[in-house]
Structure 1
Amino acid sequence: MEPERRQSRALRTRDLVLSAAVEVMVEHGYAGLTMQRVQTRAGVTRGALTHHFSSMRELAVAAVDHVARAQGAEIQGAVGTADPTALIDVLHEVTRRPTYVAGLELWVAARTDPALREALGPGARELARQLREPLLGRVGDLDDERLEVFGDGLLSLLRGLAIGGVLRDRPALEKAVLQAWLVAFGADLQPVPSSSAPG
């Protein structure tokens, strides 16, 4: 087999495994993520699975990063909107999905697993950047320290709402909470100038 075809096939297999791992995590949680379940869901051999991922920890972190990349792309696609409220709605929608909440399960597990905590670090920082940056450019008249508090506070609020949504599904109330946060913080979200919007 030609090297390009072999590489393309390997990438397809890896994506298949990652998608299967995400589905298993959403359905069974991090505690229920097993190599056998992922192998069965992906329809691959054990050898193909372990060729790409040698441990459950490695597979779980890669699956969360896989979801985060897709979420980041979606957020970036919404950045061009002229309506800041629409951007907040996109951030809220992304962080209340089962895939996002499944990723937060790994954060909880990382509390007692230093290796998992270290492995999750880069992806968590990148997703936080993708969630925070689109808003920071639209917040009026805040000094650097207050801007950091605004961004980190909003991310913490979104995470809390995501976890709370596991027990009570109240998206309208969650939106009201987000708006109250913005008003209470005094954040003046500015629309993107029309010249910045994608043409």
Structure 2
Amino acid sequence: MAATRAESYLQQQERRSRASRQQILDAAVQCLAEYGYAGASTLRIQELAGISRGRLLHHFSSRDELLVGAVQHLASARVAELRTEVGSMITVPDDDPARIDEAIGQMWANFHQPFFWASIELWVAARHNDSLREALRPAERQLQKAIHETLAVMFGPVWSARPRYQQVVDTLLSSMRGASMAYGFDPRTPARDPHLAQWRDMARILLAG
């Protein structure tokens, strides 16, 4: 009986620890997106998460570790969601060029999610912050690998097997990243962006042309 109570107590503590970690990560991403890197202080994150200073430090020993972990957590969760949602998001057959169009539409939509803007804050800050850059680099490599795996699923086995597929995806990611930056000071409707038609034309020519 005592062993059972002890086990139940440990499970409760573990659940609380996971919940508090999640609160901290969510608050960190929100702070990055709303206040930028400079404004995402541990005190502000702590207050927004509604947790104590000691509990925050229990999970994350430094501010940069927390901010990198928060962005990677949110981005990884979104990538995992995309992989499970592909079947409902993209309904055209694998060999239909319209699948290219749908995949590109989904790619572009994700450049307007909170994790993207939080990531931008970290990338810019890392330019002059050695410790942040070192913390960010391995996490970004891991995330990029997961993103490319998910994109291959979105484009499907036919188009992702084309010789110029990787060239197309790399060009799309770089171009979308650049185009989305203007939305930070000039908000518009992403689905109406003229680049969208250009990206689809380019991809169709290189993959299906």
CA contact (8 A) 1:78 1:87 kept: no
User: Equivalent of 1:101, from 117, 120, 143?
Assistant: 117
2:176 aligned residue: 158
Q: CA deviation at 1:23?
A: 1.3
1:139 aligned residue: 159
CA deviation profile, 1:38-76 (whole Å, cap 9, x unmatched): 111111111001111111101100110121122112321
Q: CA deviation at 1:173?
A: 4.3
Aligned-residue Cα RMSD (Å) equals 2.2
Where do 1:26-105 residues align within 5 Å?
26-80=33-87, 81-83=90-92, 84=99, 85-105=101-121
Q: CA deviation at 1:138?
A: 4.5
Provide the identity percentage: 36
Is 2:134 the counterpart of 1:121?
A: no
CA deviation profile, 1:8-36 (whole Å, cap 9, x unmatched): 11111100111111111111111101111
Cα–Cα, structure 1 residues 23 and 91, in superposed 2: closer, same or farther, change >3 Å?
same
User: Equivalent of 1:168, from 166, 173, 186?
Assistant: 186
With normalisation by structure 1, the TM-score equals 0.82
CA deviation profile, 1:112-138 (whole Å, cap 9, x unmatched): 223222222233233333433344444
Whole-Å separation in 2 of the counterparts to 1:28 and 1:128: 25
- What 5-or-longer segments of structure 2 have no aligned partner? 1-5, 93-98
Q: Which has the larger radius of gyration?
A: 2
Cα–Cα, structure 1 residues 78 and 178, in superposed 2: closer, same or farther, change >3 Å?
farther
Range that drifts further, 85-94 or 9-18: 85-94
Q: CA deviation at 1:140?
A: 6.3
Whole-Å separation in 2 of the counterparts to 1:3 and 1:172: 48
Structure ranking higher in helix proportion: 2
Given residue 49 of structure 2, which amino acid in structure 1 is its aligned partner?
Answer: A
Range that drifts further, 36-45 or 155-164: 155-164
Whole-Å separation in 2 of the counterparts to 1:127 and 1:169: 27
With normalisation by structure 2, the TM-score equals 0.78
